[in-house]
Amino acid sequence: MKIARTEDLRLDCRHCPVRHRAVCAAGDDEEFDKLNAIKFYKSVPAGQAVALRGERLDVVASIVSGVATLSKTTVDGRMQITGMLLPSDFIGRPGHDSCAHDISAVTDLTLCCFRRKPFEDLVESAPGIRKRLLEMAFDELDAARNWMLLLGRLTAREKIVSFLMLVVRRSVLPEDVDQPVQIDLPLSREATASYLGLTIETVSRQMSRLRKDGLIKLETARRVIIPDTSRLEAELENAD
């Protein structure tokens, strides 16, 4: 991932929408200032590759806005989406100089970038940032375990509900989930099907059934209103 600076893009860290969830969330003022001094921003248009599997990673980055996917190509040539990256998620791993997946921009992306070597040097002397990276790594491990459950045990309906609740948790403030919420699905029906291990027809059928059951309202193919998130989440109570 060789990313050039976007010179005309300027963001104030104090007003960054992911400031309290990203890798910079746990650092003290000194660590934050050091991180701020080495950052630069990059815009990636929708549909463009951010990094390719096996490619050397000269840069690590936090997603400020937009959505990206992680994917791998199977031996028979099929592309399988293995993960989704949302705002505040981190691209790259300190100590690893190559990319383990293909990373593609689903929507226009804004990335807060750091050259890998200066970032690794900073992490060595910044316990707050190092702690936050560890927390995010454990969160990623938990997500991978939940992913195994989702693919292995959940019904098609439960997979769709899990996906909807994932988007809710990442895009809606906790204090707002007790009221009707509106979300924009980050993936197309085709990409959602790949992500969940379903067919496009099954995704469409299950979304229609959730709508008929009054659990969701479909304003458009991508815009969903959830009248009662607790009722929707209750669909998963017996899934564990």
pTM recorded for the entire structure: 0.80
Residues 217 and 4: their CA atoms lie apart, in Å, by 41
Tell me which of 140-144, 160-164, 171-175 is least confident. 171-175
Structure tokens, 164:
């909807």
Stretch 2-23: mean pLDDT: 71
More confident call, 16 vs 27: 16
Q: What is the torsional sign of CA 132, 3, 58, 107?
A: positive
User: 207 falls in which pLDDT band (50, 70, 90)?
Assistant: very high
**pLDDT per residue over 153-167, tens digit each?**
889 999 999 999 988
Per-residue pLDDT reduced to its tens digit, 46-94: 999 999 999 998 999 999 999 999 998 888 888 888 888 999 999 998 8
Q: Kindly state the helix (H) or strand (E) to which residue 145 belongs, with its residue range.
A: helix 127-152
pLDDT at 238: 60
**What is the structure's pLDDT at 240?**
52
177 versus 198: the higher-pLDDT residue is: 198
**In the predicted structure, residue 129 carries a pLDDT above the cut 70:** yes
pLDDT range class, residue 14, cuts 50, 70, 90:
confident
- Model confidence at 36, pLDDT cuts 50, 70, 90, reads confident
Mean pLDDT for 204-226 is 95
**What does the pLDDT average to over 193-211?**
94
Helix (DSSP H) and strand (DSSP E) numbers for the chain: 7, 11
Residue 27's CB is within 10 A of a number of other CB atoms, namely 21
Mean local confidence (pLDDT), 138-145: 82
Q: Is the pLDDT higher at 230 or at 26? A: 230
The CATH class of 13-150 is mainly beta
pLDDT value at residue 8 = 54
Judge contact between 59 and 115, C-beta under 8 A: yes
Residue 157 CB-half CA count within 13 A: 15
pLDDT of residue 109: 94
pLDDT tens profile 97-108: 888 889 999 999
What residues does each domain of the chain span? 13-150, 153-236
According to CATH, what is the number of the domain 153-236?
A: 1.10.10.10
To the nearest whole number, what is the mean pLDDT of the chain?
87
